[in-house]
Structure 1
Amino acid sequence: MDLDQRPELTQGSVEFVATTEYMVRPPMPPLYFFLIDVSISAVRSGMLESSLTQPQMMVVSDLDDVFVPLPDDLIVNLADSRSVVDVFLDTLPSMFQDNVNVESAFGPALKAAFSVMNQLGGKRLIFQNTMPSLGIGRLKLRGDHVPVYGTDKEHALRLPEDPFYKQMAADLTKYQIGVY
């Protein structure tokens, strides 16, 4: 056998450079897109302190019809815009210190981020502190039904409440977008 010429047979981890025939599209520069929950619980928990980034902010006002006016303007080259990102990081905690909103429009934010990223792919980093309660993908607390635990109805708590997330996962995979 040719063990010395087949590292995949003798090594625990092997990386191969994929040729163009294995690629859906040409390699793209890395894209990182940050979704940040700025609800009152996120602010009070300290989640907005110091380590998050997003050069620009978009507020979605119509949760049922998500629209991103200029998606390309939300993406910047970090090397060219480092000072803008640094200023944003420094001001992020104070921008929302007076926020009293307890609601979270996580689903519409996911859709908006998808419309920005679907041409390029990339990694989406999500910092979510509150259960989604507005717009598509909203969820309701289901774990407080103690009599259900230990019965044949308990499995219903593990079933998806909203098909939105399953469809979003399929769309993200199709357009090579990872979620972290």
Structure 2
Amino acid sequence: MEITSNLVLSDYQRAILNEMGIASWQLVSEEATQVKFVNKPLENVTISSDVISKTDALVKLKQLKQQTQKLESTDSILMTFSTGDTQLQIFTDILIALGLEAKLQEHISIEQLNHYSGYPLSWTQGEKVSMNSKQLITPALAELHHPETKKQLWQQLQSALSLQNPIK
């Protein structure tokens, strides 16, 4: 019994190999991709995997990458806004209030925040002012000239500082 099989990778298989950093090659000639199996019965092979689609596989691969990546330790302040905003007086005032004016600053993307540990503060832009643990979220610094927003910011900073250094 002779069985001829075409060993051609599907787009899904190519995507998986690509995500794993494995280059795949495709022969130009159709004849070269045919392999003959002689006297071997064809067995049914079932894939026991939770992967339902290409998208699911890519999501799982991305999660695995994030789980296995080592976190970079830094003592810099991590910021996700433009470097021009660091020239504003409100920026300096906030760092002084938090006791972080002497710290180095590193501008990163929001996606990169998950790659760091040990930082004294991460400062991102959002719609509302909030301060949780080591994460400060403020509107764009240029918008902090509004009295109500400024008041909300200083209240958040004051309550965060009182939690860090309780009065005895």
Query: Normalising TM by the smaller chain, what interval?
Result: under 0.3
If you compute each CA radius of gyration, which structure gives the higher value, 1 or 2? 2
The structure with the greater share of residues assigned to strand is: 2
* Structure of greater relative contact order (alpha carbons < 8 Å, 6+ residues apart): 1
TM-score (norm 2): 0.24
Q: TM-score, normalised by structure 1?
A: 0.23
